[in-house]
Amino acid sequence: MREQVEVQSVTVAGNSSANIEVISEKGPFLLRTVVVTEGAEDFLVTDIKVGKNSQLVNCAAVPAAFFVETPRQEGLAYDVLQRGMKLTISVTNTCSEAREFKATLFGDLVFEHAMMDLVRGDRFLMGLGHTIQRLGKATLNVRSQLPMTPVLFFVPLSVKDDVRVLDVRVAGESVASRELLSKGEATVSLTPKAMQCGDWLCVDIESDYAVAKGFTGAVVGLLRAVN
């Protein structure tokens, strides 16, 4: 049965962080999507935890703008939230002034007898963190903590207006069409390339601005089975 949970609106001081906790009053509850309804352009999501377990592949931040639309979240894997368990969304306000953050959780209530038949997602989210980019070129490096195949690359349009993405590479091999990157769309499909646990994903970026600009993004990867 589909369930909608409103996350309490929180005002976060400038350049500060906050943990927003939601306690499941019903359950078990399987989170499917997080929809940020306020503060998407101003916040980073630094973690999403079900109980004590992080739901992200790595410890780098994800732009809150990733969670505005549901299609790019399809198939993301989350743990089941049992009744009375906490779900924690950790956020950081990147602005110098206070901003409001608000979100809605969508998921399924799962009856105990159906737990064995529960279908979880098979995709995981990897953040690119938040880097201050100055004039010129740079390469960002993030390491996967799971064997996965990156399939989707996301950078908020507001970020792409300031910093260009030149290439996306997995283990030294380009996996993004430079033509698609140059079109300036927020979401770009990647050529499948298997990553082993510990492999690097590299993003080449460039800025023409003398004033430092913040760069952030995310990668969705398909979990690979380990033989």
Return the higher-pLDDT residue of 107 and 25.
Answer: 107
Tell me: pLDDT of 113 over 80: no
179: left (phi over 0), alpha (psi -120 to 50) or beta: alpha
Find where tokens 């004039």 sit: 135
CB 99 within 8 A of CB 36: no
Average pLDDT, the chain: 91
pLDDT of residue 24: 83
pLDDT of residue 93: 98
Per-residue pLDDT at 213 exceeds 80: yes
Distances from the Cα of 182 to the Cαs of 22, 71, 141, 163, in angstroms? 39, 22, 21, 11
Which residue in this structure is represented by tokens 């995709």? 123
Q: Is the confidence at residue 10, as pLDDT, over 90?
A: yes
Share of the chain above pLDDT 70, in %: 95
Alpha-carbon span 152 to 187, nearest angstrom: 7
* Cα gap 54→176, rounded to integer Å: 28
Query: Tell me, what's the pLDDT at 154?
Result: 97
CA distances to 41, 194, 203 from 162, rounded to whole Å, are 14, 30, 15
- Which carries the bigger pLDDT value, residue 113 or residue 175? 175
Q: Could you identify the residue written with the tokens 């979880």?
A: 120
State what percent of residues in the chain have pLDDT above 90. Answer: 75
Q: For residue range 141-162, what is the model confidence (pLDDT) as tens digits?
A: 998 888 999 999 999 999 999 9
Confidence of residue 115 (pLDDT cuts 50, 70, 90): low
Q: Which residue ranges form the domains of the chain, and what is each CATH number?
A: 2-121 (2.60.120), 124-223 (2.60.120)
- Residue 39: C-alpha distances to residues 14, 99, 154, 165 (Å): 12, 7, 18, 24
The 10s digit of each residue's pLDDT in 95-110 is: 999 999 999 999 988 8
Predicted local confidence at residue 201, as pLDDT: 96
Q: What is the mean pLDDT of residues 176-186?
A: 92
Higher pLDDT: 38 or 116? It is: 38
Quote the pLDDT of residue 96: 95
Which own/partner pairs from 114-120 qualify as long-range (CB within 8 Å, at least 24 positions apart)? 115/28, 115/80, 118/30, 118/80, 120/30, 120/77, 120/78
Q: How confident is the model at residue 114, as a pLDDT?
A: 55
pLDDT bucket at 119, cuts 50 / 70 / 90: low
pLDDT at 117: 57
pLDDT digits (tens, 9 = 90+) for 32-87: 999 999 999 999 999 999 999 999 988 899 999 999 998 999 999 999 998 899 99
pLDDT at 226: 56
